[in-house]
Amino acid sequence: MTLEEKVRKTLAELGATDAQSVETLFAEVRAAMEAERQDLVSRGATSEAERNQLCKALRDRWLARKSGLVSLIDENWLKKAGKELKPTVGRRFNELREHSAGVEVDALLRAVPVSLEVHVSDPMHRTDSVAAEVSPAVALTDLTLPGYRRPLGSIHPVTRVMREIEDIFLNLGFAIETGPEVESVYYNFDALNIPESHPARDDWDTLYVDAQTVLRTHTSPVQIRAMEKHGAPLYIIIPGKCYRHDNPDSTHSPMFHQIEGLAIDTDITFADLKGTLDFFAKKFFGEKVRTSFHPSFFPFTEPSGEVAISCVFCDGQGCRICKESGWIEVMGCGMVHPEVLRHGGLDPDRYSGWAFGLGVERYAMMKYDINDIQLFYQSDVRFLEQF
């Protein structure tokens, strides 16, 4: 069976029923990826155009959004893995995704040589054509000129924090789910038990495209879409952009990023939620961080709570940032409301679940000690080059 055939099957169809067989499959995939990359590097290209074409073809084969081998592994192995295999598959898929940086076009272009025709003159003024493995810059540039110093970019701090949070939950066996940013009123409000009288549905809070379409105000609509698509059990995180009718200031922006988590299974309790979020807080902020849960209200969860952590700036002693309280509120959470489960096509008498939601920019501001959210969106190189 070829690799292309294997990634289009589930682990169950491949007979991978234990951690060892999963490890073997992922080792085979990584070996194949590296072999194809090395083959391209050793073969090289006869021209820069051919090199660009070969590099793009290899990149698309592995990393194309819909048909790439890594995307198929995510869809067929990770998302459809059994509950007992999810942690192992999540860890190995995360490692594969990091390893796949080697087949990105930029990395391949630096590694694949180009064979160019260069000309050398002999002492008798005769010009001969010889083939040599040289860089295009060597063949076409006056080597006596000083080199160009191109500034190197870096991963945006919001993206960096989002990936860090994703990695924590991927290692716990969660899968990543995404959905549309232009959303229907039904998925954004009705299916989440948010009534028409709720102030969040007013024009001065929500950006409406038309009467039945909005720019999503949170990533929660993906919860309903995922329940309809996958059923239960379901363990996902949902990163993405959200939009609200907020005036820009140091702590508000009309566009921002959220990550939500959703766990649905039989016998899920609030204790599972507390344990998971306490583990996450210690992984992200440090092992010394303590968590505190306080009652709150959200239409889509019951009971609902707010999560606070001991202040990471003063170690809970009290400072200006935590307003002398020693605690900083970091997210909302709760048990999924039965009506939300029903809208997702699940029986609330059989299944229960928990959910949480957090703002990525706020976590980035805390992690990197940034005091103005607008700095993330101004494309100021002086700010971005610090990361």
pTM of the model: 0.61
Q: Which of 22 and 167 is assigned the larger pLDDT?
A: 167
Residue 340 has pLDDT above 90, yes or no: yes
Q: Which regions of the chain does DSSP assign to beta strands (E)? A: 114-121, 127-134, 175-176, 182-184, 208-210, 213-215, 234-243, 255-265, 291-298, 301-310, 327-336, 352-359
pLDDT tens digits for range 6-53: 889 998 888 888 989 989 999 999 999 999 989 988 888 888 888 889
pLDDT digit string (tens) for 368-386?
989 899 999 998 888 888 8
Cα 365 to Cα 368: distance, rounded to the nearest angstrom: 5
| pLDDT of 123 over the 80 cut | no
**Predicted pLDDT at 132:** 46
User: In this predicted model, which residue has the larger pLDDT, 342 or 82?
Assistant: 342
For 376, the enclosing helix (H) or strand (E) is: none
Calculate mean pLDDT across residues 331-352. 95
Report whether pLDDT(107) > 80: yes
Q: Which of 199, 239, 190 is nearest to 218 (CA)?
A: 239
135, 141, 146, 151 alpha-carbon torsion, rounded to 10°: -60
Scan for tokens 């922006």, then name that residue.
253
CA distance 58 to 40: 9
Residue whose C-alpha is closest to residue 206's, from 243, 261, 175, 176:
243
* pLDDT confidence bin for 127, thresholds 50/70/90: very low
Please give the pLDDT value at position 141. 61
387 vs 385: CA distance, rounded Å:
5
Question: Given a cut of 70, is residue 117 above it in pLDDT?
Answer: no
Residue 133 has pLDDT above 60, yes or no: no
Residue ranges of domains in the chain, CATH in brackets: 3-111 (no CATH), 157-384 (3.30.930.10)
Residues 52-62 have pLDDT tens digits of 899 999 999 89
Residue with tokens 């949902």: 238
Beta strand pairing status for 234-243 and 175-176? parallel
Q: How confident is the model at residue 164 (pLDDT cuts 50, 70, 90)?
A: very high
Which pLDDT score is estimated for 140?
A: 58
Contact of 296 with 332, CB cutoff 8 Å: yes
For tokens 């096509």, the residue is 345
